[in-house]
Amino acid sequence: MIILDLPYPPSVNTYWRHATIKGQQRVLISEAGRKYRKAVYEAVLMAAPSQRRVAAGRLEVGIKAYMPDRRARDLDNLPKALLDSLTNAGVIADDSLIDRLVIERGPIVKGGKARVYIDAFTEIEEIDK
């Protein structure tokens, strides 16, 4: 299992930006998104070597989100930037390999953070087959 403490991610609402390039509408990663990718990459480099390996194969990912303040936030806005950044940092081969994703709200922490758990996916056997 890989466990990483990462900076609190930007919401999906601020991760993307729309731009017109050569007359074509494009959706690009925003400046905030690029800064977050870099911060995750640096956090991964600072992690213990055992936590920097590439997670391949089918995966399950758990995210515990420690909000930076008391403002209302939707948990479903958090994983996109975080998972894309982990892929960019080489921790996850591709986020399409995730078969189970669990997000949990933790207590408020100044500045916020996200603790990420990555492990091989183990399917729960169905009783009524």
- The shares of helix, strand and coil residues in the chain, as percent rounded to the nearest 5, are 30, 35, 35
Other Cβ atoms less than 10 A from the Cβ of 73: the count is 16
Domain 2-120: give its CATH superfamily.
Answer: Holliday junction resolvase RusA (3.30.1330.70)
Q: Where are the domains of the chain?
A: 2-120
Predicted pLDDT of residue 10 = 92
Predicted pLDDT of residue 21 = 82
Q: What ranges in 47-125 are assigned the alpha helix state H?
A: 79-88
Instruction: Return d(Cα 111, Cα 21) in angstroms, integer.
Output: 35
Instruction: Return d(Cα 9, Cα 28) in angstroms, integer.
Output: 17
Per-residue pLDDT of the chain (129 residues; tens, 9 = 90+): 999 999 999 988 888 888 888 888 888 888 999 999 999 999 999 988 777 777 778 999 999 999 999 999 999 999 999 999 999 999 999 999 999 999 999 999 999 999 999 998 987 777 666
Report the relative pairing of strands 16-21 and 24-29 from DSSP bridges. Answer: antiparallel
Instruction: Return d(Cα 32, Cα 51) in angstroms, integer.
Output: 25
Predicted pLDDT of residue 82 = 96
Using a 10 angstrom Cβ sphere, with 0-12 exposed, 13-18 middle and 19 or more buried, the burial of residue 122 is exposed
Predicted pLDDT of residue 128 = 67
